[in-house]
Amino acid sequence: MLDNIHPKLISLLGYFKDFKLVCSYRTIEAQNLLYSQGFSKCDGLNNFSWHNYNPSFAIDFAAKDEEGTITYEQQYYYKLGDIANRLDLTWGGNFSWFDGPHIVLPKKDIYKDIQQRLKHLGILNGKCDGIFGNHTTLAMNQFQMDIMEPVTDKINPSTWKFLFNVTKDLS
């Protein structure tokens, strides 16, 4: 499972030693199944979860109760949220719907990583500021054309996997 987690998240796993890592990368098919069962807001077809990117920008944990038994009761996830918030990560407990097990890199960090990789390839001309604006959109579109993927004006799981693999030396 560690092979499918973004390197920045891997470097922070030690902070979550009291929790059990239960999910990192999730296939599009698995995402669609969760969506069809009402367990996700993302269908994996038209809108993606950060779990659908490989390596994943998101991870999920299971909490343990006082006896050390795995539990998904909401009250046990506030400690996870405190740790995530201290590390400047996005915690699913802060969403409009409670997703206590969910941790994701902040969008600004994700976008900055993407920009640095596009810049490394000589496609992005401009600064790596973590804002997915016009320069990044144009660079992403150019990259998608270069690898013969549909141009989408944004990063998608297949584009990310290709971009990460051709720039692995930056990780």
Query: And the tokens for 39?
Result: 């367990």
Of 134, 135, 156, nearest to 144 (Cα)?
156
> What is the model's pTM?
0.89
The CATH class given to the 2-104 domain equals: alpha beta
| Cα–Cα distance for residue pair 92/126, rounded to 1 Å | 32
Domain ranges in the chain?
2-104, 107-170
In this prediction, residue 44 carries a pLDDT of 84
**Low pLDDT (below 70) residues in the chain:** none
Residue where the block lists tokens 């802060």: 94
Largest CA distance in the chain: 54
| Cα–Cα distance for residue pair 138/169, rounded to 1 Å | 23
The answer to whether domain 107-170 has CATH 2.60.40 is no
In this prediction, residue 76 carries a pLDDT of 94
In this prediction, residue 168 carries a pLDDT of 87
At 25-42, the pLDDT tens digits run 999 999 999 999 998 889
| Cα–Cα distance for residue pair 57/49, rounded to 1 Å | 9
